Amino acid sequence: MKSLFNKVEKLIFLLFLSCFILLLTVQFLSYSSDYDHYTYNMIRNNKLLTLNDEKINEKGIIVLKNMTQNHEDIKILLNGEPIGEFYNDEVKIYVRNNDIIEIDGTKYDDQLKVKVIGVSKNVETPKLDTTVITFQSIEILSRVKLK
């Protein structure tokens, strides 16, 4: 009886070890920083999109201008993640459909004003000349909609 348990224990251990090695191999082979390629189905605008749909990877460009003098440390957040700061009072960001653009003015006690001064042809919102004013807060500039 003891030998049967030893054989079953070795079998379970070998199965576990082989599954773990297989898992590591699959993770290593599928590693990528761009996870859109491995997304099989996405739901956007109440319709099912697949990898063959070009709109998944379509990008737009938005140029923002800092309208407040002497306040260079205003952060731009894209989907809650910091993506840039103003250099020479302007910043150019690359966006995708349904991205949320926010302005982080929490470092200053003054009102900060940021304006959209440029958009690519495929960007529907935010509109050109859209302005947001923040006062020690994070304000939403817009949700990006591509044409």
pLDDT the model gives residue 46: 46
pLDDT at 44 over 70: no
| Model pTM score | 0.59
Inter-residue contact 97 to 146 (CB < 8 Å): yes
pLDDT at position 31? 66
Q: Which residues contact 64 (CB under 8 A, 6 or more apart)?
A: 76, 86, 90, 91, 93, 114, 115, 116, 117, 141
What is the pLDDT at residue 142? Answer: 87
Return the DSSP state at 38. G
Backbone phi, psi, residue 122, to 5°: -90, 5
Average pLDDT over residues 13-30: 88
Instruction: Give 75's pLDDT tier (boundaries 50, 70, 90).
Output: confident
CA distance 57 to 54: 6
